[in-house]
Amino acid sequence: MTEVVLGVDVGTTSAKATAFAPNGSELARGEVGYPLDEPHPGWAEQDPQVVADAAVEAIRIAAQEARAGGHTIAGLSLSSAMHGLVALDAHDAPLTALLTWGDTRASDQAERLKREHPELHGRTGTPLHPMSPLAKLCWLRESQPDTFAAASRFVGVKELVLQRLTGEWAVDHSVASGTGLLHIRSLEWDAMALEVAGISAHQLAPLVPAKERFALRAGASAETGLLGGTPVIAGAGDGPLANLGVGAVKPGMAAVSIGTSGALRVMVENPATDPAGRVFCYALTPGRWAVGGAVNNGGVVLQWAGEALAPDLGEHAEEALLELAASVPAGSEGLIMLPYLLSERAPHWSALPRGAYVGLTRGHGRAHLIRAAIEGVCQQLAVVLASVRDAGNDVVQVRATGGFARSDLWRQILTDALGMEIGFPAGHEGSGFGAALLGMEALGLIDSIDRAAELVRIHDRVQPGVQASATYAELLPIFVSLYDALAPAFGRLRRLDPGS
């Protein structure tokens, strides 16, 4: 009989609960999906009750499978998507939908905050962007003043799930550090940010360390099939935990991921912010902070290319699209795509950018357009890597995960664009395993989460090609300059289409 910890990852489109043994083995799994509602341009919201129900059901499925395998569940540990916001009334009933990180209705407020309070990025480590709850609070106050005034509490998805499981309101330092409301050095709610948002600290959940231990309440015991009092570890945000889950826990080792969106993060030992405002700094545990940047446009760009450029290939044409892209050399014969279909986050942190092809000639066909789209995603992550380094952080190793890793072409283009060897771990999806490791340390099942690097097995290493890397290195300054050149046009186009 093996003691296991359930790593519970409440993401943007599904909740996953996975039972891990202290040796890193995955022994059981449950997953329940839910919709992301986008009824209008810029909206990206969810029903908070549906999300919490899915998390509970995923836990029930994984727990049942683990017990059927003869394993004992030592506890749960939580990972969640960051930057969500829902307003609750005095009875803790939702007054709003759960506004996710992808909701951009606070774009005007975020741009104003960048002009009027640029110092907040340095105080909180969170970029001034519509994803952040700080900007969302300003938007809610201005656009729905009656709802804002009626709110007794403002929380995110982590608080909702933790309260559902334990009956207590709390938020870990990691998730809190992504709200734009936490002072990253004092680890207390930031007075200036609260004043700008127009709320008090009493309207936010109490702050706790990532390894804070709670107990499963009786009602949740009945729902999940777990024993009442089972330890529930607060856990952390999905981004920092993704680094832990792929073993990128030491300074100088970065984790990069490409799913629908993408990100690149490196762990540092002390909180540090970028004076240029290009990268975030989020907490994990004492002595471990994640510095990096997320990009809105990852696999969604290839999906768009299939729908817009190759509808004749059908709905599930990823393999055919990649074959077309592979027929074109690195650099797409002088064609560049700025992949800002969903605006962009790092390193510019603006809702204004739009996608663009630059360098089109009559000699370019759809294979070039598709390859340039993939290259644009990878070049954007190369810009994030450069921003992380420019902020004073060494990056000497890279590990990568995400749906893109199923494609040899995607993997090679990213490796060539970054100009570094990339290691691809076997098995685990990072955040859930990272949460489980954190829980194991909190429960005394492992000595330290430093073990993560030992438990994660690298099954493939991809080396950059000399010629392709040189091509991408030559194109990168052009790619970067195009953003600045087109920025005025982005702003004017937004005024013509304010719903975007």
Nearest C-alpha neighbor of 384 from the set 479, 474, 296, 295:
295
- For 32, the enclosing helix (H) or strand (E) is strand 26-33
**Residue 330, pLDDT score:** 98
- Domain 247-427+465-500: which CATH class? alpha beta
- One fold for 3-239 and 247-427+465-500: yes
435 within 8 A of 10, measured Cβ to Cβ: no
Nearest C-alpha neighbor of 432 from the set 285, 266, 255, 246:
246
Instruction: Spell out, as residue ranges, where the chain has pLDDT lower than 50.
Output: none
Joined together, the tokens standing for residue 136 give 């969302």
Instruction: Give the tens place of pLDDT for each residue, 441-468.
Output: 999 999 998 888 788 889 899 999 999 9
Nearest C-alpha neighbor of 133 from the set 194, 43, 72, 54:
194
Give strand pairing partners of 291. Answer: 266, 281
d(CA 238, CA 7): 11
Dihedral pair phi/psi, residue 163, rounded to 5°: -65, -40
d(CA 284, CA 265): 12
12 within 8 A of 83, measured Cβ to Cβ: no
pTM: 0.94
**Residue 380, pLDDT score:** 98
d(CA 402, CA 245): 12
**Residue 275, pLDDT score:** 87
Identify the burial level of 152 via C-beta atoms within 10 angstroms of its C-beta, where 0-12 means exposed, 13-18 middle and 19 or more buried. Answer: middle
Domain boundaries, the chain: 3-239, 247-427+465-500
d(CA 136, CA 287): 30
d(CA 109, CA 497): 17
**Residue 272, pLDDT score:** 85
179 within 8 A of 134, measured Cβ to Cβ: yes
What CATH number does domain 3-239 carry, 3.40.50.720, 3.50.50.60, 3.30.420.40, 3.40.50.2300? 3.30.420.40
